Amino acid sequence: MIKKKSIFLMLATIFALLFCASLANNNNKAHADSNRVYDLSEWQGNFTANKVKKLKNEVPFVILRVQYGSSYHDKTFNNNRKLLEKYGVPYGVYSFSRYSGVSQAKSEAKQLYRLAPNAKFYVNDYEMSSVTHGSSNNATKAWVQALRPLVGSKKILFYSYQHFMLQNASQALKYYDGYWVAAYQSKKPSVNSVMWQYTDRHYSSALGKRIDASLLGKGKDWFIGNVELPVANKSDNSSNSNDSASSTLVPDSQKKSKPVKTQGGVNYYNTNVKLTVKDNANFNFYNHLGEDKTYKSRKRLHLVKDYKAATLYANKKGVTKNGDVYYRVTRHGKSMGWIKSNSVQNYIDYANTNEEKTIKSDASGEFNEHVKGSHFAKNEVLSNVSDLAGKQVQIVKSAKKVGWNTHYYLVKYDGKIMGWAYQSIFE
């Protein structure tokens, strides 16, 4: 009896250990899909490959601080960003804002994009009074309006404590995609928000530190999205709007996609994208990606200088370990090879129109020679929007980047072409 009892106890112990191990494993998997995320800065130090691999199983994405005002950049950002990209951990970015007025707000926002162009979303962390010229609401609105043309449909959030937001940015908040509220308490604030930072003492086993943590008010895909989504558009060799539709490029944050093949350190995706070659493009067309080590040699197929402003269609995309993006493209149905993404731009649909619009009384910005973000290498400023504040103007053309729901307009006033401006300047 004693022997049988010992055997039974031993088997029961083994079963219990296996059950606990299985439960822990399941909990880890569930935790990776949870709605808790971390916001991190240089105070958490440089990541390591091991820490990032663990982070991937701990949170759906992270949010990195990029800068403190316009004069200080986080020391750890580039190191941590590269590791997150290498191991496939999505990230958004935030700027701790210190703008003193509208002009500096625009500058800080644009700088955030320049330092983190591959981020999934962007955040204006404005929680400390700094505006000395004009109103905080106008400066905070200028921040998002300066960033919007650069990031397309990626989400732009506003972060702050509720009391500070009500005092300094309540009117500007409507221009953002969502509010990330900071409130270290057990009950979620009643204010409408897409994310709630509820503690600065959450323990991350991946980082071995206590850190800021937030709970998502929307699904993770709302924040980080992904890359392509087919959109009907006219073919490049016909002016007939009834021609068969083709698909065009859409900014990040629309549809989740998975690589159809991983080869030689490159992830390949099926895509259906319409592009325009930039005027200042300098990467030629090749038969293979140089980073794909399964190919022993690479051959140049065409000189890009011979195809400035040409319309291309991409049916395959390659993303390298370093995050570089390439497209396999055709022109008029003929294969052109692979071209790097920094040599092409979103295709833009232009349309003639004849309508009148009124420019907002507090509108600011510039009228440009061309649509911002188009393929033109030079885009001169023609005049200031504020010169026509409150005026009724004529719209003679509209332009929409494929995948965007917003427009640029070519403005004419008193018989003179003033230039292109983003739709947000109008009432």
For residue 237, is pLDDT > 70? no
Percent of the chain with pLDDT over 90: 58
pLDDT of residue 1: 42
Query: Which of 2-6, 210-214, 260-264 is predicted with the least confidence, judged by mean pLDDT?
Result: 2-6
Across residues 65-79, what is the average pLDDT?
A: 94
What pLDDT, on a 0 to 100 scale, did the predictor assign at position 253? 33
Banded pLDDT at 153 (limits 50, 70, 90): confident
pLDDT number for residue 141: 96
pLDDT greater at residue 9 or residue 331? 331
Residue 127 token pair: 């929680």
CATH of domain 232-346: 2.30.30.170
Q: Do 24-224 and 348-425 share a fold? A: no
Look at residue 71 in the predicted model and tell me its pLDDT: 87
d(CA 180, CA 193): 6
CA angle 213, 218, 221 (to 5 degrees): 95
Dihedral (Cα; 398, 400, 404, 409), 10-degree rounding: -30
pLDDT reported for residue 403: 66
List the structure tokens of 98. 């210190």
Q: In this structure, what is the dihedral angle of CA atoms 362, 375, 322, 67, given to the nearest 10 degrees? A: -20
Better-scored residue on pLDDT, 188 or 365? 188
Model confidence pLDDT, tens digit, residues 112-127: 999 998 899 999 999 9
Contacts of residues 296-302 at CB distance under 8 Å and 24 or more positions apart, as own/partner, are: 301/336, 301/337, 302/336, 302/337
pLDDT of residue 363: 83
Q: Position of tokens 């980080």?
A: 224
Bigger pLDDT: 215 or 250? 215
Residue 265 predicted with pLDDT over 80: yes
Cβ distance 383 to 350 under 8 Å?
A: no
Residue 270 scores a pLDDT above 80: yes
Q: Indicate if the pLDDT at residue 250 is higher than 50.
A: no
Question: For position 20, what pLDDT does the model report?
Answer: 44
pLDDT digits (tens, 9 = 90+) for 287-299: 999 888 888 888 9
Mean per-residue pLDDT, 92-101: 97
What is the CATH superfamily name and number for domain 24-224?
A: Glycosidases (3.20.20.80)
CB 156 within 8 A of CB 147: yes
* Whether residue 314 has pLDDT greater than 80: yes
Query: How high does pLDDT run on average in the chain?
Result: 84
Pairing of β 209-216 and β 36-40: antiparallel
In angstroms, the CA 164 to CA 418 distance is: 39
Mean pLDDT to the nearest integer, 368-388: 89
Residue 271 is predicted with a pLDDT of: 83
Domain ranges of the chain: 24-224, 232-346, 348-425
Q: Considering only the top CATH level, what class is 348-425? A: mainly beta
- Residue 15 scores a pLDDT above 70: no
- Is a pLDDT exceeding 70 seen at residue 16? no
Q: What is the pLDDT of residue 29?
A: 40
Confidence (pLDDT) at 321: 82
Report the share of the chain in percent with pLDDT over 70. 84
Ranges assigned E (strand) in 41-120: 62-68, 72-73, 91-96
